[in-house]
Amino acid sequence: MCMDTAKCTLNGELYTASLFSTLPPNELAHKRKHLICPECQADVYFRKASRNGQSACFVCRTHAIDCSLSSSETQGLESGKVDEEIVHNLNQSFELDINVEITPTTLPTPSENKTHVTLSQLLRNLVNSPEFRKSDKKIVIEDPNTTRNVDNFFVHFYDVNNTNNEDVYGFWGILSDARLDSNGSLWLNAGGIGEVSCVIPCELVDDFYKHYKLEDEEELSGAYTLIIGTKKTSANGKDYIKLKNINHIVIRKISLLSELKNKYFINDKKRLAFLLRNHQKGIFDDELGIKKKHYIDRKAAKEWKIKLLKELHSDKNQEDSSLDYDEVSSYINKIYNRMVGKA
């Protein structure tokens, strides 16, 4: 999924992620919408370095099967799994339970001829099951009140031009990037200037960030999404979907932490040393096992310190010269001092 290099179709140049990240902001914003795999020409997405320590990188979820630049990891969602009940019961209609995405409820008992599904289930099957995408079975939505065939209700971002304005669809695909505008609205972009975007109004942005635990919009680059809504066209010809309800969207972000750990750190001790060296309150807390209690309970803070020192103290690693363990121990003590108010 992670890639070292990508090709820009605007100028034919190859870029490493580190070089691409140094481009002027406007140039980067433009070129990131025109990146492909150098070998199989699949769409590639750029992720800037994030505040939680992930390095800048390129990601691709749609490599050709025989592409040598593809990782062995399945490129679909959740290891390519599908919802067996949905796929194996294509003779039934589906009733979409919108409200369980953000405000969980107990799912209704399926009726004789209907299977109740969520947006998450539908997105997983749209990504992983061509059989489901081509199904002509009915899907029933209460809000907004719509009954349509699966194969003409769900529309990939690439096919938005074939839809009618004001009709309700389930638009889905991969996001290239996202950005906040001057009014505080969040724009989820599916590609270049001519591609469709989804706008999340400013009054819904905070709830959206909280639900998906977003630190910044860069985390949405390369994410799969499914949006229930209508397409509109602006005065300058831009197609967009305006989100009316936070329950009408589902996002599946790319999780790169384990892949980046394996790629950029030789072992867990190297990774721990990096996290300790760059720790600030609220940044890398989760990765280091630091909870709120550690900042208010001296005993808990001391237990955290002792646990790490047992693993990373110089006396325990005398035969390992790859790290300066005295320095690592000093990082642990500095964090402990911040916890107990001595820093």
Lookup result for tokens 């996202």: 178
Residue 198: what pLDDT?
A: 94
CB under 8 Å to 271, separation ≥6 — which residues? Answer: 261, 265
Classified by CATH at the fold level, domain 98-254 comes out as: OB fold (Dihydrolipoamide Acetyltransferase, E2P) (2.40.50)
pLDDT at 199 over 90: yes
pTM of the prediction?
0.61
Residue 101: what pLDDT?
A: 45
Between the ranges 202-211, 212-221, 257-266, where is the mean pLDDT highest?
A: 202-211
Q: Is 222 left (phi over 0), alpha (psi -120 to 50) or beta?
A: left
> What confidence category does residue 321 fall into, taking pLDDT thresholds of 50, 70 and 90?
confident
Lookup result for tokens 């750190």: 265
Domains of the chain: which residue ranges?
Answer: 2-60, 98-254, 258-340
The pair of structure tokens assigned to 138 is 């009915």
203 to 183, 187, 199: CA distances (angstroms) = 10, 13, 11
> What confidence category does residue 260 fall into, taking pLDDT thresholds of 50, 70 and 90?
very low
